[in-house]
Every structure is written in C-alpha cells, then in structure tokens.
Structure 1
Amino acid sequence: MKQIIVGLGEALWDCLPEGRKLGGAPANFAFHSGQFGYDSYAISAVGNDKLGDETLEEFNLKQVRYIMPRVEYPTGTVQVELDDEGVPTYDIKEGVAWDNIPFTSEIEGLARTASAVCFGSLAQRSVVSRQTIESFLDATSNNCLKIFDINLRQNFYTKDIICDSLNRCDILKINDEELVTIGRLFGYPGLDMENKCWLLLGKYNLDMLVLTCGVNGSYVFAPNLKTFHETPKVEVADTVGAGDSFTGAFTSAILAGMPIPDAHKLAVDVSAYVCTCNGAMPRLPDEYLSRLK
C-alpha cells in the first residue's frame, strides 16, 4: 500500500494578473508530493458555489485526491499582485470556506493512516479550522511525520498558535523573513539567523528545521547536521507555490529514505523549476521525479 501524504488547510483561488489559478499552500503541497508517487490528499473546505464546483473539477483534472466538505461560506480567493521580479503579495479574503473546515469521520480516518501531514499557521486563523487541524494531528500515529510550514501571512497568526504548532511538529519549514518575525515575536534579539535556527531546533525538539532564503539559498538544520544549497539562477515567471513545491519534494524524499543532503538538493531543484512556470501547480519533468525511484 502506498504511503499517504496530507496537505491540511487552505484551498483557494489565486487571482493572478493572468487569471485565476487553484492554490493554497497545503493544496500545492499535496499536488507536488502526489507527483512523486504517494497517495496524496488535500484536505480543506469549499463553498456551495460555482467556485467550489470549479475547485473540485480542477483537483480532479490535476489528479489530486481530496476531502473537501461543502460548507455555507464562500470558496476562498486571494488577490495576488506580482512585483517586477515575480514576487507576490497577497490580499487574503476572510470568512471563507477554508476558515470552516469540519472535522469529519472521513478526515479522522485519513489522519489515522497518514505517513506525513503538512499544515501551516494561516488556516489556524479561525477557531473551527484550528480545532480541525489540532484534532487531525492528535489522531495521527506516532510514526506520522508532521511538517509545520509556518507560512505567515498578513496579521493572521499569534504567538500562542505558533508555539502550539511548534510543539506538535517534527519539521519546521520557515523562510528568512518569517525567521526575523519569529525572532521579534519570541524575543530573540541579537541572535544571528543560524543561531535562531539552532535555538528553535533544540527548544522544540525538532527533527529538522528547513530555512529558505530566496535567491540566497536554503539550509536544513538537524541535530549534528547542517546542509546548504545555493538557489539555481533561472528565468522567473513567478514564485507562487515555489516554497510549497520545495516542501512537497523534500517530504517525499525524506519519506522515501533519501539522506537529508540529497533530499534538500532535490527540493531546491524542484522549486527552481516551479519558479520558471506560471502558477503553483505545474507538472514536473521526469528528470526530477526519477530521482526518487
């Protein structure tokens, strides 16, 4: 039986200058980990509206399995503006379907069989979805790999939610800007970037901490191990979903038993390729997928 990987949280439409594209970090993560041959599921909620219909149709087209209860709230949308480098800023609508993900028996059943789950802080901005995420994590086995892709957006996070998530996860994925915010929030003045990472790794007893720094490369910290890979220079279409593809590739590789440095390099190469494509869910070439076989 194939291992099950779950992306849990927001599923939404990124309204980009060239049109609407399906997105949301957990949905992007599920799409990319599914390309590596896992039974991958996106768990969220959609509205009883036309966009909800389109969401499920798009997941079917992209061959992403999902559990998406229909709820009495509109399907989520995000207005995305791109700067001259293709770097996005987001206007994330509130009071939407993914703020109200119910914890169903079907979702609980998937939690009990999952080999890995990726969740973030954004879908925890509402009580309903936060409780569903907590219940899902509580229902997983001890062997389930729990990845907290922190994904700080606008003002949709609190110190308490971040602390609770850090205590529940095995791997923290964070970018350099988010690390500065966490340092300020947690009162780590004067510590450089690397020492902040080692401090978080030890304080929360993490198996790994993944730090991405855009064009300045990325790091993986684990007890007695640090790896660094430069970011490949590519022609950037946009960076939407690049971090989620990194997390999907890295998680897939770690679950497959790949050593951390090799898993890190695969994730770097995959995310660089995604930056050359429009939108968050391009099909990956076989040259990347075959590295896991």
Structure 2
Amino acid sequence: MIQKNSSPIAVSFGEVLWDIFPTYKRIGGAPLNVVYHLRKFGIETHIITKIGDDDLGNKILKHIQDNQISSDNVQRDSTYRTGTVFATFDDHNEANYDFLENSAWDYIDLEEKTINLVKRSDVFIFGSIASRSAKSRNTLTQLIEVANYKVFDINLRPPHYDLKFVMEMMKKANLIKMNNAELEIILNELDKTFTTEEESITFIHEYFKCEEIIISKGAKGGIYSDTKSLYRFPAIEIVIRDTVGSGDAFLAGLLAEKLKSNTPITFLKKGATLGAFITSHTGACPEYEIDDFTTFYDENIYLDEEIKVSPLKEEDPS
C-alpha cells in the first residue's frame, strides 16, 4: 500500500521526447507527463531520463526546470540524439506513434544518486517503452528492486517492447495500469482466454501477485480493483479537444489523491476528473494553475453513487 507522508516524493523513469504532429511539435513522453501534473498538486517530483546534448534536449531541460520538476537525474548524451516520436491521429481521434530508434533515453545510466533517490521516494512510476533497449532496461530492473511503491503504466507500442520482460515487471509492481487491448495481449501470452473483465482481472491479480489493477477504457471510463472489490467508474462527458496524455493525467490525479487518502472512490474521482480536464485542452501538458482544475472539478465531478462497487470474487458459501 502506498505511504502517506507529509512531504511525499514521486519519481518517474523513462522516455522524455518531442511529439512531432503533422502541424506542430510538443515536449512529451508519459513519464514526464505524469510528474508534470503531480507537481501541480505540490508534490516533490523527479524524473530519471536521458536527453541528447543538442538544442531539442536543451529545450526539454528548460521545460522541466521551468515547471519545478527536479532535473538532477536528467542525464545528457553527446552520442545519441534527444528522442522524437512522430504522431498521427486516426478517425477516432486516437494518436498513433512512430518512435526514433537509438534515442538518448535508450541509454539511461544507473547512478548511485539515482538509486538513493528511488530508495527514499514514495512512488516510483515506470512504463514499458523505455525498456526496449538493454541499457535502460538494466537500469530500470535495478531501480525497481529498491523502490517502495511501484506503479507500472503498461504502454505497449509495437515493436518497442519485450512481452516476457513486461510480465516480469508486472510481478514486481504494486499497481498495474493497462487498457483492455493490453489486457488481452497479456492473457493470450499466458494461454488464458478472455471471458469477463472480472474473471480476467482476478486472474491477473493471482498470477502476478499484484495488489492493485486499473483497466482504462477511454470514453467508457475504467475499472479499478484492489483484490477484494471492483470499482467501475464512468468517463466525464466533456468536449474533447485532444486525447493525447489523458491517461497520464488520470494516473497523476489518482496518485496525487492516493498520497493523501487510500479511499478508492476519492482517488478515482480525482483521476477521472483530471483526465477529462486535460482532454478538454490541447496537449498532454497544457499550462494551467491548480485553481483552474479545482474549478473544473467542482463543476464536473460525478456523484459517489456513479462509481459502481462490487465484490471481485463471490464468497464461498461453505
């Protein structure tokens, strides 16, 4: 279970890059998006990544520092370029990504100060994309061993993942977040047929010994499970401007509230509302003040009763 310290520390690991869209480009990467929003809630945030010793890298470093995210563990590389990803949108306004090979974030070094940071952090957040290379994968593996509360935001982008490694990391995570498509990929790899969401989630809990699972379902909301109860939460109806980074915002809102309270309905409402708030803006990390979000939250939050709670497994009558 996540700790609730008076001055929590959140650390993320992985890719920081430039999202190149058809008509514009923005700084992005899920690990940066999550800590960007966590910082808005006043949480001390750090990111472990590597950028190139180039102009794109300089702009990323400035962006991190300007948003009061610690850059102490942002490494520089004179050999490999700052990462870029080319993004396009389909007919459903969902983004598709093409990542630059051999980016600086593929070569994140393991450093003593980084190990010490992760040891004292309350939350350690990581995904699957940064594990595509042996160097960063090795660093991640060692950091996970010293982390306290491990959040695995599965983000399967073919061909940038090794499914066997992904499943190894699932066994080490406290909280796993994925979508329905990723759930089915994992189940298929384990020769498990998808039947119902409840049965599939129970299987994931038992197979990976994971305490908490989130299944994101986009416009249909999502599911949270803590091995005992299953919570179905709806999406908040808003005018969609941009879906990029909405899942990262959801996770940040959930974790920000979770660092204060372990009441599922409370942190699910905060996560769902921040995800909707960001979707109503352009970009994964739009400029905003926490008061802007608070106003949006008060105007759009749904009732507790709209989150449907049920036992994950029926009690054995015997």
TM-score tier, shorter chain, comes to: over 0.9
Q: Tell me the secondary structure at the aligned position of residue 34 of structure 1.
A: helix
8 Å CA contact 1:149, 1:172 repeated in 2:
yes
Answer yes or no: is 1:69 the counterpart of 2:75. yes
Answer yes or no: is 1:104 the counterpart of 2:104. no
TM-score (normalizing by structure 2): 0.86
Aligned residue among 172, 175, 180 for 1:168:
172
Match of 1:182 in 2: 186
Match of 1:54 in 2: 59
Alpha-carbon separation, structure 2, partners of 1:30 and 1:272: 17
Match of 1:38 in 2: 43
Aligned residue among 105, 111, 131 for 1:124:
131
Q: Tell me the secondary structure at the aligned position of residue 171 of structure 2.
A: helix
Answer yes or no: is 1:195 the counterpart of 2:202. no
Unaligned runs of 5+ in 1: none
Q: Which has the larger radius of gyration?
A: 2
Unaligned runs of 5+ in 2: 1-5, 298-318
Cα displacement (A) at 1:86: 2.6
Match of 2:20 in 1: 15
8 Å CA contact 2:40, 2:290 repeated in 1:
no
Cα displacement (A) at 1:41: 1.0
Match of 1:92 in 2: 99
Match of 2:308 in 1: none
8 Å CA contact 2:194, 2:200 repeated in 1:
no
Alpha-carbon separation, structure 2, partners of 1:148 and 1:106: 22
8 Å CA contact 1:36, 1:289 repeated in 2:
no
The CA deviation string for residues 104-138 of structure 1, in whole angstroms up to 9 with x for no partner, is 12211211211001101110010110111111112
8 Å CA contact 2:244, 2:279 repeated in 1:
yes
Cα displacement (A) at 1:139: 2.4
Instruction: Check 1:139–1:165 CA distance in 2 against 1; reply closer, same or farther (3 A cut).
Output: same
Cα displacement (A) at 1:30: 0.9
Match of 2:307 in 1: none
Aligned residue among 29, 32, 35 for 2:34:
29
Instruction: Check 1:229–1:190 CA distance in 2 against 1; reply closer, same or farther (3 A cut).
Output: closer
Aligned length: 288
Alpha-carbon separation, structure 2, partners of 1:263 and 1:190: 28
C-alpha RMSD of matched pairs (Å): 1.7
Answer yes or no: is 1:224 the counterpart of 2:228. yes
Q: State the identity as a percent.
A: 27
1:227-246 superposed matches below 5 A: 227-246=231-250
8 Å CA contact 2:41, 2:290 repeated in 1:
no
Instruction: Check 1:85–1:62 CA distance in 2 against 1; reply closer, same or farther (3 A cut).
Output: farther
Match of 1:137 in 2: 144
Cα displacement (A) at 1:17: 3.0
Cα displacement (A) at 1:147: 0.4
Q: Tell me the secondary structure at the aligned position of residue 269 of structure 2.
A: helix
8 Å CA contact 1:236, 1:276 repeated in 2:
yes
Cα displacement (A) at 1:285: 4.2
Match of 1:211 in 2: 215
Alpha-carbon separation, structure 1, partners of 2:225 and 2:69: 31
Alpha-carbon separation, structure 2, partners of 1:29 and 1:206: 21
8 Å CA contact 1:13, 1:22 repeated in 2:
yes
Alpha-carbon separation, structure 2, partners of 1:223 and 1:42: 30
Q: Tell me the secondary structure at the aligned position of residue 210 of structure 2.
A: coil
| Segment drifting more, 23-32 vs 59-68 | 59-68
Aligned residue among 249, 254, 259 for 2:253:
249
Cα displacement (A) at 1:84: 4.1
- The residue identity in structure 1 corresponding to 2:75 is P
Alpha-carbon separation, structure 2, partners of 1:4 and 1:136: 15
TM-score (normalizing by structure 1): 0.93
The CA deviation string for residues 40-92 of structure 1, in whole angstroms up to 9 with x for no partner, is 11110001111111110111222222321101210000001123443101011
- The residue identity in structure 2 corresponding to 1:222 is D
Match of 1:152 in 2: 156
| Segment drifting more, 205-214 vs 191-200 | 191-200
Match of 2:291 in 1: 286
Q: Tell me the secondary structure at the aligned position of residue 253 of structure 2.
A: helix
| Segment drifting more, 96-105 vs 174-183 | 174-183
* Runs of 4+ that moved beyond 6 A: none
Q: Tell me the secondary structure at the aligned position of residue 200 of structure 1.
A: helix
Alpha-carbon separation, structure 1, partners of 2:238 and 2:35: 24
